[in-house]
Structure 1
Amino acid sequence: MDTYLTTERLALRHFTVDDAELLIELDSDPAVMRYLSGGEPTAPETVRERHLPNILAGYEKWDGDLGLFAAHERDGGAFIGWFHLRPEPDGPLDEVELGYRLRQAAWGRGYATEGSRALLDKAFTRLGVRVVRAATMSVNHGSRNVMEKLDMEFAAAIPTPPDMEAVEGSEFGGVRYEITGERWKAGQRGQ
Structure 2
Amino acid sequence: MAGGQATVLEVAKEALVLFCEALQVVGDSYAIAGFSGTGRHSVDYFTIKAFGEALTPAVKAGISGLRPHRSTRMGAAIRHATVQLAPLSSRVRLLILVSDGFPNDLDYKGDHAIADTRRAAQEARARQVHVKAITVNIGSDPRLDALYGRNHHYVIGDVRDLPDKLLRLYGLLTRRS
Q: TM-score range by the shorter chain?
A: 0.3 to 0.5
Q: Which has the higher strand share?
A: 1
TM-score by length of 1: 0.33
Q: Which has the higher helix share?
A: 2
